Structure 1
Amino acid sequence: MAQVMIVDDQINTANMLSMAVTVLGHEPLELHRGEDAVEMLRSAQPDFILLDFMMPGMNGLRTLEEMRTIPNGEQVPIFLLTAAKDHYLEEQAKEAGATGFLPKPLNLDILETILRKIGKNGSGK
């Protein structure tokens, strides 16, 4: 079972992602602000992070950059989520260290495939 950190300012979206992660047999860790996610990452060791791109305050890109400076965040797979269809955002995310970029609403088959792959690569707990 992997621990999946979910960071999304939209509580309904975060709740749906948490339910999906649970149904897929993993443990969700739900947060709603980038600042809180960065602070939590200092003590938590999630196997995987789903991070909303568009958030007030510390947006997803800035959160990603901060996460990559923390020892627990250097290697963890981090996927940014957005409803925006902008290839420039995807380029920015990859330059900042994102593992991948996923569209909202998130296709659960894609999430399941990614979580399965992480488990096979030994990144899961």
Structure 2
Amino acid sequence: MQFLQSIHHIAIICSDYEKSKRFYTEILGFKIDREVLRSERESYKLDLSLNGQYCIELFSFPNPPKRPSRPESCGLRHIAFQVANVQECIATLNQKGIFPEPIRTDEFTGKKFTFFADPDDLPIELYEM
């Protein structure tokens, strides 16, 4: 029996809450659904949506430990977003001071993709559909 229906959200712990909040809202265009200060944990929880779909929970905690991200360490590898045109997205990101890697082509699908990083070096992929 298949019991999973879809991905509900991605949880991200950031090192600089205000910087990451600006990145995900002002650079990537996520909408803030709810922002909660959890004072007993010295933590913010920011619920973000994209095109009306709840996607990301952004958390802040005091002094979170670093997690190795590259090269190919164990754990979450990256998050990927579907886009209509990778080149146009890169141009938009460049205007905002974000410079993704050169465009690559998926050897199995022939689709274009690229990577860039969030403020904590979490790899983010743009995948052209």
Q: What TM-score, normalized to structure 2? A: 0.28
Return the index of the structure with the highest Cα Rg.
Answer: 2
The structure with the greater share of residues assigned to strand is 2
Q: Bigger relative contact order, structure 1 or 2, given CA contacts below 8 A and separation 6+? A: 1
Q: What TM-score, normalized to structure 1? A: 0.28
